[in-house]
Amino acid sequence: MNGIFHEAGFWFAVSFVLFFVFFGRKLWAPITAILDSRAARIREELDEAARLRREAEQMLEDATREREQALVEARTVVEQSRKHAADAAEKARAEAEEAVKRHEQMARDRIAAVEREAVKEVRQAAIDVAVEASRSVISQSLDAQKAETLVDQAIENLPAALARQAA
């Protein structure tokens, strides 16, 4: 009779079943309590993880929005800087052109002044030469009597000449 009752596996199974029948209720409550508390802790951790994920997504959205705003501000600053630089360059160019015009006008004025002075000097030299030539010619061709007559005549004509010059 080597049946089922002589095998160790059978008695092991029977003892296992009897163990759970007698002690199952006493063990079941603490085991389920442990498992329930672990399930609650896992549920809390999952809830916390979901909350953290929502916070992280919100922070990512905020950071993305702030980055976009910073990019817009940076573009605005760059555009303003370019405009300011262009305005400054235009102003500098206009000032340089104005300075060139002023220097050119000053040079023209100096040239005109030098020309007037040169004309004045040439006229004076021509007058000096004419006076010297006249003296020379008059002294050679006039005697004292004729010179005195000419001087008297010039003195008489002096008021009429001054009146013509004043008019």
One-letter amino acid of 38: R
Distance of alpha carbon 162 from its chain centroid, rounded?
71
Cβ–Cβ contacts within 10 Å for residue 50, how many? 10
Query: Is-contact 4 10, C-beta < 8 A?
Result: yes
Tokens (6 digits) for 83: 């405009």
pLDDT 10s digit of each residue in the chain, 167 long? 467 777 888 889 989 888 888 887 787 888 889 999 999 999 999 999 999 999 999 999 999 999 999 999 999 999 999 999 999 999 999 999 999 999 999 999 999 999 999 889 888 888 888 888 887 877 777 777 777 887 888 888 888 877 887 76
